[in-house]
Amino acid sequence: MGTDRDRSRPTKKFHRTANDEKHREFSLEPRPRMTYPSDLDLMLRAQQNPSLTTGFATGAPDLTAALLNDRCTQLFKEATAVLWRTKSRLRGNINPISFIFSLRTRPALQPWAAAIHPKPFITFFLVLRAARNAFIIGEVYKPSGTSSSSGTKKLQPYDTLPRAIDAFHGVDRFDWGGYDIVEWTAQRRVCGAFVVFRPAVVNRNADGDVAMGDGPTVVDDQMMLLFRDRVETSLRQFGAVVKEEVLDKALGDVIKRHQESRAQAAAARKKRGGVSSGEGC
């Protein structure tokens, strides 16, 4: 049985960063030689993304920092191996989102990868890749004479995740600022947080309340600006440098499909005699 002193020590479990219960949430961001944006909107907290925490812990008693690092390293090693084995067949325009999605079912990453929901799995891969790139860029452009405890030193044998991501960069030929990345990010945003539409015809009842109904909709300009800003923020966090015309096309396509989906759902409900819920995803 442990002593009171033993019990007072901070646990080595990754889900506890301090003795204080208010710190039970932990960040799922491996830190060594990685630089994350200060405005990262997906902080990958345990309570917000249970699929990530339970998935990474699959087959283990608990999710620890070491286990997380090992499995993230496995992820990028497998991504590198797949690209290396198939590089002669992967010519032309390859969708990076489809590639990342396919990694969930790779035998080398089972059973934990398949236990993570596709959206946080893809997002996590993109965030890690961008964080390593940001660290490298920060070191390259660091002012001369600036000292760093870790930046200018060579990678050590225990720096397994940075090494794995660097190896992936060595064979990576994806367009990380292309249409596929923007379209996926916009689709995730429009279905996850925003209703950018308003009724084309506003009907008010006797009490003055607005009735949305199942009629046609138009894009709300103010919400569209906010939606665009959030998509651009996510793309920056993914390290995606996107041309304005690519962003315009992807956002337009996503909005059009979403609007058509809402119209089809409304028509189906009307045919069944149901009531619109206002949802389109």
The domain segmentation of the chain, as residue ranges, is 24-174, 180-201+209-272
pLDDT at 90: 56
- Which tokens go with 213? 């109904």
pLDDT at 281: 57
Answer for the pair 266, 217: CB distance below 8 angstroms, yes or no: no
The reported pTM is 0.76
What does the alpha-carbon distance between residue 103 and residue 10 come to, in Å, rounded to a whole number?
35
Answer for the pair 183, 189: CB distance below 8 angstroms, yes or no: no
Omega into 111 within 30° of 0, i.e. cis? yes
Answer for the pair 174, 96: CB distance below 8 angstroms, yes or no: yes
Beta bridge partners of 54: none
Using alpha carbons, list the distances in angstroms from residue 247 to 17, 86, 111, 155: 39, 30, 36, 36
Q: What is the pLDDT along the chain (281 residues), one digit of tens a residue?
A: 444 444 333 333 433 333 333 333 445 667 678 888 776 644 455 456 778 888 988 988 888 888 888 999 999 999 999 988 876 555 556 789 999 999 999 999 999 999 999 998 998 899 899 989 998 888 766 665 554 444 445 666 558 999 999 999 998 888 899 999 999 999 887 765 455 666 665 555 555 544 444 555 667 777 788 888 889 988 988 999 899 999 999 998 988 888 788 778 778 877 777 554 445 55
Say how far residue 192 (Cα) sits from the centre of its chain. Answer: 12
Answer for the pair 218, 198: CB distance below 8 angstroms, yes or no: yes
Element (H, E) at 204: strand 203-204
Q: Are strands 217-219 and 197-199 parallel, antiparallel or unpaired?
A: antiparallel
Beta bridge partners of 197: 219
Which DSSP string corresponds to 218-252?
EE-HHHHHHHHHHHHHHHHHTT----HHHHHHHHH
Terminal CA-CA length for the chain: 53
Q: Alpha helices of the chain — where are they, by DSSP H? A: 4-8, 50-56, 65-86, 96-103, 118-140, 160-171, 179-192, 221-237, 244-272
Beta bridge partners of 218: 198
Return the axis-axis angle of helices 118-140 and 160-171, rounded to nearest 10°.
90
* Sign of the CA dihedral running 114, 116, 122, 127: negative
Residue 113 is classified by DSSP as G
What does the alpha-carbon distance between residue 33 and residue 231 come to, in Å, rounded to a whole number?
26
pLDDT at 41: 46
pLDDT at 28: 61
